[in-house]
Amino acid sequence: MARPHAAAIVEDAWHRRVNAVLRARGWQTRIVSHTGYGSESFVRVLGRVLLTRRPEQHPGADAEASVPELRAAEEQQRGWRAFITAPAMNVPVTITVGGRTVHARSDRSGYIDVQVRDHGLDPGWHEVRVESPDAEPVDAVVYVVAPEATFGIISDIDDTVISTSLPRPFIAAWNTFVRAGNARHVVPGMATLYRELLAEHPDAPIVYVSTGAWNTSPHLNRFLKKHGYPLGPLLLTDWGPTNTGWFRSGQEHKRSCLHRLANELPHIQWLLIGDDGQHDPKIYGDFAEERPDKVRAIAIRELTPTEQVLSHGIPVSNEELAPRHRQRRDVPVCRAGDGYGLLRLLRVALSR
């Protein structure tokens, strides 16, 4: 096995030191659950184990306040606080899904990503139990896709459903680290688009794939729920170093998610929804070239010239400057400035 990158070695040493200091000060482990998914043969359970102060250690904490109340108060703080976390490395966890119990450990950044097979759950929404020593057990939500489902939605988040002006460094930093988590704008018509399509395909799963950090998932889930977006798993990423470099590749994250979903749910043809502010058209187009049987259609939300400038500094999309991508004719591509326009075009494209 190749030696880990120096960045990962440094980060692991830092996390081990922080873990030791915080545990010596009485901090305890806390489990954060994320929405998972699966089929009748497997369920993917997602979450993270963090170190957190005990309730009585919170400055100004009400002695009568419950732990959920304290957590709710924490979640209302400004966005940058979501990134100040202490991952609990290599912590044992027990996951109970239906009649199955499996044992695992959090990874080097505290994440839990466990696949449980032979779970016995019926299609639909379920709660699974995640436990760890010295932590309150939590229930994680998972969606089991029906075997007869043949249609699903994979959606980008930034500038597709939420206007965040990413990735311009200063604006992105302002939106993420300074402004409150609810100070983001909805893209018109996108929630309507998703609700209408899922109403026509009741068994269809929806999965949100983004290069955003896992730390932002509570804010994103509240935003999506507040603005009427259907519930679905968020497949985010960790911004820190990896075993191969200082930073993760956002494009590679999206590509790997697409291929993993195609392999795990082979009976689904996906509607891929993104925007033209960055690389979604190319990523989706490449995927359609490689796996045309897995793509039902591609929908691209076109940014305004102002949004293009905020996204990458020029008033036109990156596609205008790149060589024209060769697109399969049997995979329809719809383009519009909002969800209402995309819905009109998709109704025609999906009826063929």
237-265 confidence digits (pLDDT tens): 875 545 444 455 678 999 999 999 999 99
Average pLDDT, the chain: 81
Report all structural domains of the chain as residue ranges with CATH numbers, in order of start. Answer: 6-144 (2.60.40.10), 151-350 (3.40.50.1000)
Rama region for 65: left / alpha / beta (φ>0; ψ in -120 to 50; rest) = beta
Which one-letter amino acid corresponds to residue 190?
M
Task: Please state the rounded mean pLDDT for residues 44-62.
Answer: 72
Q: What is the pLDDT of residues 305-351, one digit of tens each?
A: 777 666 655 665 666 545 555 555 689 999 999 999 999 999 999 99
Which is nearest to 185 in space by CA: 159, 154, 219?
159
Give the whole-angstrom CA distance, residue 277 versus residue 137. 41
**What is the pLDDT confidence band of residue 54, given thresholds at 50, 70 and 90?**
low
Q: Which residues pair with 45 in a beta bridge?
A: 114
Question: 76-107 burial, b if ≥16 CB within 10 A, otherwise e?
Answer: eeebeebeebbbbbebebebbbeeeeeebebb
